[in-house]
Amino acid sequence: MRRRITYLLMLCLCLTGIPVDKIVVYGQEVVTNYITNGGFEDDATIWTDWTIMTQSWADANVKSFKYNTDSYIQGKEGEQAITYWVNDQQVNSYEISLEQTIQGLPKGEYTLSAYIMGEKSATLQLSAGTTTSSALAINKGYNTWERVELSFEVEQAGDIPIKLTIAATPGAYSYIDDIRVEAIPAKEEETDAPSIVNGGFEESSTLWSDWKIDTTDWNKAKPEEFAYASNADILAREGQQCIKYWIDSSEIVSHTITLQQTVKDLPAGKYTLSVYSMGGDGGKVILNALDESGEAAATQGWNIWEKVYLVFETTETKDVPIQITIEGSPNAYGYIDEVSLKTYEDSDVPKPDEKPIPEQGDLFIDYVPGISDDFIRGMDISSLIALEESGVQFYNKAGNVQDICKTLKESGTNYVRVRVWNNPYDANGNGYGGGNNDLAKAIQIGKRATQAGMKVLVDFHYSDFWADPAKQKAPKAWESYSLEEKKLAVYEYTKTSLQALLAAGVDVGMIQVGNETTNGFCGETDWANMCALFNEGSRAIREIDANILIALHFTNPETSGKYAKIAKTLNEYNVDYDVFASSYYPFWHGTLSNLTSVLKNVADTYGKKVMVAETSYVYTKEDTDGHENSAPKESGQDLNYEISAQGQANSLRDVAEAVVNVGEAGIGIFYWEPAWITVPQITLEERKETWERYGSGWASSYAKEYDPEDAGVWYGGSSWDNQALFDKEGKPLPSLYTYSYLKNGAVTDRKLTSYETLSVAAEVGAEIVLPEAIKGFFNDGTQETFNVTWDEAAIAVAKEKGAGTYEITGTLIDGAQVKCQLVIRPKNLVLNPSFEQSDHSMWKIDYLGESSDYVGYQNKASDAKTGNYSVHFWNDEAINFTVEQTLTGLEKGYYDFSASLQGGDCNNSEMTIYAKVGDKTYKAETGVKGWANWNTPTIKDILVEQGTLTIGIAIKCDANGWGTIDDFVCYLNSKEIDTGNNGGGSTGGDSGDTTQTTSSTSSNSFLNAYNNLSTSKQEEITQKLSKYMPYTLLQTSQDLKWLDELTGSIFTTEQLKALLTDPKALEKMGITLNYVTLTPIKEMNFKDVANTHWAYGNIEKALQLGLARGMDEENFAPNQALGVADAFTFLDRVLLLNGQMKTKLSRDVVSQYWTDKTNWSYAHKMSIGSKLSEKTLKEVAALQEKPLSRELFAQVLYEITEGKLEIVNEITTFTDIEESPYKEAIVYCNQVGLLKGMNNGKMAPDKTLTRAEMMIVLSKLNELL
């Protein structure tokens, strides 16, 4: 009734001709015109309310016009209008446009209208969203106003651009007034049966009587009316209001909210009760009617509305109570709207199919309702030829070697996808890797797929190597081409390539014109140019075979509005294509419901088919080939499925269902690189050789010339081996057969597959509480809870040791053991350090350049290092800003500070983290190296004496740089204040200078103080120095605290500095000392270390720091086993560089084991030997010059660092170190990042290190120190 009155009032007002923008109905404003300043009455805001453009302000003048300035004109409503006049002396026509975007226009049908009058040749075109009118002539003459209009529909509430475009010839003029966007009243639905009262919550005055609303705690779980207009960011449902709820984040228990209503005299029959629900953070909605209850429907996230259904039946006419139950955990929030009750036949509830009988298999797989037999079940096996050339063999289910194409066909696959690069080779014919996928390989794979009975999708990248959102580089041969030349090249290349494929007998069913062309295509980033190139590829395909489907491929479906904008742009440029394809990796790309929604929107709006061109999931965390995996990562990824073959199958099945749920337009999915497993060579060195030779890794070193920033840095093996559908031996995993079970489903024996991964974090000194129970997961998707008893002794030890990462063992009732990671962190003094709390007042963002407002707090887990929030930046102008916080009330001491950064496209960048204490500023450089590749620099030993410290990050780069900042950490470290220290501030982590420089002083200052001591005191100090003074020293070494303790704390800081920087003082005391000079080598020209060598960067860095030298001028001998002399020399230099002076053994003890004083390494061996236990020193000395084993080397590292380096890695279980006497040292070195395990899960403790491997250890040790 309320709507009827509203529409009648609107109609009456319209009939009277009175223009109104709002009316009041039942005390509430109802919008009648959604245009702002459509009558141009507010002169002060016309030019901000409207974007008015003309090709020439001098020759096509546009201005506001007051009717009272011309006594002859017959004005429209109000006092003003917009007018234009085109200079009649010109020969060209001009275009004039007026634009405005309506924010949050609700779903519905609308009319855009305007009044216009004028004469001489001109046309007007109206557009609203994607709807555009034909060009309307403006020629009625002076004072003859004409109303023009355009009807359009808004299918989903959102921002709608409105535009009026005038094309005017010389001499033409017009007046424009009263531009309006008005809702077309919806037809009143007629219902025969009683229905829900106030189901849209629009009637505020009766809402609380129409509905009985209750909650378990009105202060902690609060439902309330919500007006969509109060939040411009919300995606509104029908009408203007809904119900909003939230659960207090401070709660520790869940709460329940109920909405109840009784439907009077409901006739006998079958009904569907439904409601729309949206929200997140642990909310669930359950519908109840009579004695029936629906399933709990979890909220899917902000702006993701889902319809919740309940089907029930009544056998007689009766009053039927209905209830909406909302269950929410702490911090849950949500919105509900459009409660509806319809007869079952009239409702849009999905009607259940007859459930098929599942087949017996090796996994549990639920069938996909509605999946068709011709649904594409595809696999991308582009790397196949390179893998086979590298020695990889693939097996069938029976365990026999078999052509993989035949195995795929047997597994239910009906389509094969293969990528094509134009020329993935350098001038010498060396392949760039990634399969070296040229046209010839595509033909090879395509023929085998065709022979096995599968169709082929050809994925043309139009590049010589990987094309993706971050890079769309044109082929080398096309780099200098103009757009017109490039259009011709795309056309000819596509046509000749397709002809070659068809001539070879390949059954080409679909072609991709470009790969993940979200941000560019073939070197072009302007959409007009990109679309012109798309069309040239399409033209070539249509000319050969109009039945071949043409696909365009994009990614990042999780980004709000991205696909809608891309599809609209393609439509505006009349791009010819059939299929809108998306990548969807569940750990990167958001929810499946969102995937369905954005694809359905494209399909319904533009009549396109849609599909997923790439998807995959992990079956193991193991890195089987020694090249780091893409997933799982510690941050920026959501792995919501079990990491197993069962998890893979569940993920693949659910992606298929998401596409099926689009409707008939959803045509299929492709699994990306299911066969990209490790090559069979045993050692990492052998595998690297194979990757280089055959291109079976993701990139070879030869790709550096074409892609220096990505492939040139990270080239190597497969980062996808743990997402394959074959194990590392080439044998099929059960998940390979998922496609064959999508129609009917599969069942197997139920068994426990894994326990949940538990991780508990606590700050130093806080109570440590581990969970009393742990979840166990079963292969049928169910879970059970098991009580667990934790090792209290291990917890106590961890608490005693303090900061670090520990693995605590728990025991279940049946004796099974489980693990919990315990992370004890120093107390982080930064407030809201990861931006998760809504209060950001403690943070200060300063813009130092000309532009501003391009930095904000973003809620997006995939862009955050931890949690959901981070600080995000992007600007189309130069970027220059800081983010900082000032900490106060700090106790006197030394502090460490770090912050994390990731991003890309930051050219000419200057990026640092900084810490300010008084007038002093400490800095550590940082930078971006691609999405989800986090940099975490650290500034150590910041001396705070007055209680105040400002920490921050400074970002400066060219336009279009982007990134996110997260996880600021600042804590008091354990270093004691040294009154003689220069203030600290050493840097570590990703960047920064670790050297400290001090001024030279005369030795007299020390000797004078020494000579004034008593004879007995002099003898005591001389004896200590002669025993424990290190045998080597840099003049810049300043471990003054240790030296002060050694000499009895009787000398000043300046006197101790004098002792270290001038050898005369020690010489006069009869103490021998070897001053070491670290000579940097700026250019590396070794014949046996090419710039493609895997350790090239680490060797170069060691040389530049003066830590290492070659065997001679031409040879470094990177593969030579590391002997004791080399090892101790390298280690001594890095310790000296970092001022590490402290010794454990006296010189006379160490000299018993190193007796050859003429040996070139004697001084270094004496120095490192003095930092070891005698037991370890004895074992090392027994080797003489034989190579060190990894386990003994680990013990040396453990002792020279005193086991105090910061732990950065979780404990990894190595099966071959249990019996090692150096197990503790090996685990420590692995946790701090000095030693890595082998790719087979072992540490190989008996193996020796090479000189090249030592350079990696040196680089890492230098960072950690």
Q: 33-183 adopts what CATH topology?
A: Jelly Rolls (2.60.120)
Q: Which residue has the higher pLDDT, 753 or 572?
A: 572
Q: Which residue has the higher pLDDT, 1008 or 617?
A: 617
Cα–Cα distance measured from residue 534 to residue 541, given in angstroms and rounded to the nearest whole number: 11
Which member of 182, 327, 338, 516 is catalytic? 516
| Residues forming CATH 3.20.20.80 domain(s) in the chain | 370-474+501-621+636-746
Cα–Cα distance measured from residue 1179 to residue 1225, given in angstroms and rounded to the nearest whole number: 15
Q: Which residue has the higher pLDDT, 1058 or 844?
A: 844
Work out the percent of the chain whose per-residue pLDDT is above 70.
92
Residue 366 has a pLDDT of 94
Q: pLDDT tens-digit profile of 295-315?
A: 888 888 778 788 899 999 999
Q: Is residue 869 within 8 Å of residue 835, measured between CB atoms?
A: yes
Confidence of residue 243 (pLDDT cuts 50, 70, 90): very high
Burial class of residue 623 (count of CB atoms within 10 Å of its CB; 0-12, 13-18, 19+): buried
Confidence of residue 634 (pLDDT cuts 50, 70, 90): low
Q: pLDDT tens-digit profile of 724-735?
A: 999 999 999 999
Q: Which residue has the higher pLDDT, 1236 or 855?
A: 855
Cα–Cα distance measured from residue 1258 to residue 1262, given in angstroms and rounded to the nearest whole number: 6
Q: Which helix (H) or strand (E) holds 512?
A: strand 508-513
pLDDT at 258 over 70: yes
Q: Which residue has the higher pLDDT, 186 or 373?
A: 373
Residues 6 or more apart whose CB falls under 8 angstroms from that of 657 comprise: 368, 369, 371, 592
Q: pLDDT tens-digit profile of 495-516?
A: 999 999 999 999 999 999 999 9
Q: Is residue 238 within 8 Å of residue 107, measured between CB atoms?
A: yes
Lowest mean pLDDT among 153-162, 758-767, 829-838, 937-946: 758-767
- Residues 559-584, mean pLDDT to the nearest whole number: 94
pLDDT at 452 over 70: yes
| Residues forming CATH 2.60.120.260 domain(s) in the chain | 33-183, 207-343, 844-973
Closest to 242 (Cα-Cα) out of 181, 303, 191: 303
Confidence of residue 352 (pLDDT cuts 50, 70, 90): low
Model-wide pTM > 0.85: no
Q: pLDDT tens-digit profile of 67-104?
A: 888 878 888 878 999 988 888 787 778 888 999 999 98
Closest to 1203 (Cα-Cα) out of 1173, 1162, 1247: 1173
The CA–CA distances, whole Å, from 197 to 209, 266, 342, 345, 484 equal 10, 13, 13, 21, 63
Q: Return the CATH architecture of domain 844-973.
A: Sandwich (2.60)
Beta bridge partners of 1250: 1121
Q: pLDDT tens-digit profile of 958-970?
A: 999 999 999 999 9
pLDDT at 421 over 90: yes
User: What is the distance, to the nearest Å, from the Cα of residue 118 to the centroid of all Cα atoms in its chain?
Assistant: 55
- Residues 1098-1120, mean pLDDT to the nearest whole number: 85
Residues 6 or more apart whose CB falls under 8 angstroms from that of 925 comprise: 911, 912, 937, 990, 991, 992
Residue 959 has a pLDDT of 92
Q: Is residue 1143 within 8 Å of residue 1114, measured between CB atoms?
A: no
- Residues 451-467, mean pLDDT to the nearest whole number: 97
pLDDT at 20 over 60: no
Q: Which residue has the higher pLDDT, 1251 or 1009?
A: 1251
Q: Is residue 1243 within 8 Å of residue 1216, measured between CB atoms?
A: yes
The CA–CA distances, whole Å, from 163 to 85, 112, 167, 1197 equal 19, 10, 13, 70
Cα–Cα distance measured from residue 456 to residue 510, given in angstroms and rounded to the nearest whole number: 7
Cα–Cα distance measured from residue 1222 to residue 1179, given in angstroms and rounded to the nearest whole number: 12
Cα–Cα distance measured from residue 743 to residue 672, given in angstroms and rounded to the nearest whole number: 21
Closest to 687 (Cα-Cα) out of 384, 394, 393, 387: 387
Confidence of residue 192 (pLDDT cuts 50, 70, 90): low
Q: Is residue 1129 within 8 Å of residue 1076, measured between CB atoms?
A: no
Residue 478 has a pLDDT of 97
> Is 516 designated active site?
yes
Residue 145 has a pLDDT of 85
Residue 395 has a pLDDT of 97
Lowest mean pLDDT among 589-593, 647-651, 926-930: 926-930
1004-1011 vs 1015-1028: helix crossing angle, rounded to 10:
130
Q: Which runs of E-coded beta strand occur in 979-1125?
A: 984-988, 1032-1033, 1074-1075
Lowest mean pLDDT among 3-17, 612-626, 900-914: 3-17
Q: Which residue has the higher pLDDT, 186 or 127?
A: 127
pLDDT at 1143 over 60: yes
pLDDT at 443 over 70: yes
The CATH H-level (homologous superfamily) assignment of domain 207-343 is: Galactose-binding domain-like (2.60.120.260)
Residue 1038 has a pLDDT of 63
Q: Return the CATH architecture of domain 752-825.
A: Sandwich (2.60)
Confidence of residue 353 (pLDDT cuts 50, 70, 90): low
Q: Which helix (H) or strand (E) holds 1181?
A: helix 1174-1181
Residue 1104 has a pLDDT of 86
Lowest mean pLDDT among 37-51, 522-536, 1001-1015: 1001-1015
pLDDT at 369 over 70: yes
Expressed in angstroms, the distance from the first to the final Cα of the chain is 76
Q: pLDDT tens-digit profile of 810-828?
A: 999 999 999 999 988 888 9
DSSP state of 1189: B
Lowest mean pLDDT among 767-781, 901-915, 1002-1016: 1002-1016
439-451 vs 483-503: helix crossing angle, rounded to 10:
40
- Residues 150-178, mean pLDDT to the nearest whole number: 89
> Is 354 designated active site?
no
- Residues 894-913, mean pLDDT to the nearest whole number: 91
- Residues 753-766, mean pLDDT to the nearest whole number: 85
pLDDT at 123 over 50: yes
| Residues forming CATH 2.60.40 domain(s) in the chain | 752-825
Which member of 614, 657, 1100, 1199 is catalytic? 614
pLDDT at 713 over 50: yes
CATH 3.40.50.1110 fits 370-474+501-621+636-746, yes or no: no
Q: What counts of helices (H) and strands (E) characterise the chain?
A: 28, 54
Q: How many CB atoms lie within 10 A of CB 1019?
A: 11
Q: How many CB atoms lie within 10 A of CB 243?
A: 22
Confidence of residue 1212 (pLDDT cuts 50, 70, 90): confident
Residue 925 has a pLDDT of 87
Q: How many CB atoms lie within 10 A of CB 1144?
A: 17
pLDDT at 62 over 60: yes
Cα–Cα distance measured from residue 245 to residue 807, given in angstroms and rounded to the nearest whole number: 40
